[in-house]
């Protein structure tokens, strides 16, 4: 079960309300998690963690793919951060796992954003 709520839907199952606001909230939450991982790693994290643009103004078919990709990233980060916190709680050193999760997040995010057509489709 995800701690991040799904998009609200109408009786037909179509997303309603402020989908972009939910998407941007998910995007921000993922980057806060990535920032926490980077802080755990210290200087090993690298400079890319400050990259937090998210796609806006996309056609519906691109938006559907973006929502699916973002949901996958959220699930990966949620489970990964939970596992790292559990390991640390039990006294294990989790820097290797944190570095791997951060690198995987950055790679998947880069691939997701590479599908965005133009810079105008990105917002800070």
Q: Three-state SS string across the chain, please?
A: CCCCCCCCECCCCCECCCHHHHHHHHHHHHHHHHHHHHHHHHHHHCHHHHCCCEECCCCHHHHHHHHHHHHHHHHHHHHHHHHHHHHHHCCCCCHHHHHHHHHHHHHHHHHHHHCCCCHHHEEC
pLDDT surpassing 90 at residue 77: yes
- Residue whose entry in the numeric block shows the structure tokens 């950055």: 106
Lookup: tokens for 92? 């294990």
Cβ distance 87 to 22 under 8 Å? no
Lookup: tokens for 69? 């990709």
Q: What is the pLDDT of residue 10?
A: 64
Q: What is the pLDDT of residue 109?
A: 87
Cα–Cα distance measured from residue 76 to residue 101, given in angstroms and rounded to the nearest whole number: 8
Identify the band that residue 63 occupies on the pLDDT scale cut at 50, 70 and 90: confident
pLDDT surpassing 80 at residue 119: no
Q: What is the pLDDT of residue 124?
A: 47
Q: Compute the mean pLDDT over every residue in the chain, rounded to the nearest whole number.
A: 77
CA 124 to chain centre: 15
Mean pLDDT across the stretch 41-47?
73
Cβ distance 105 to 30 under 8 Å? yes
The pTM (predicted TM-score) of the whole model is 0.70
């Amino acid at each position: 079960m995800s701690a991040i709520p799904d998009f609200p839907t109408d009786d037909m199952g179509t997303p309603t309300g402020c989908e972009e606001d939910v998407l941007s909230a998910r995007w921000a939450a993922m980057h806060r998690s990535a920032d926490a991982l980077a802080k755990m790693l210290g200087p090993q994290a690298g400079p890319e963690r400050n990259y937090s643009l998210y796609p806006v103004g996309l056609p519906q078919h691109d938006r559907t793919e973006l929502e699916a990709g973002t949901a996958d990233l959220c699930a990966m980060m949620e489970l990964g951060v939970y596992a790292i916190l559990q390991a640390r709680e039990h006294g294990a050193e989790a820097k290797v796992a944190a570095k791997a999760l951060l690198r995987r997040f950055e790679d998947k995010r880069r691939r997701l954003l590479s599908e965005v057509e133009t810079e105008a489709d990105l917002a800070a």
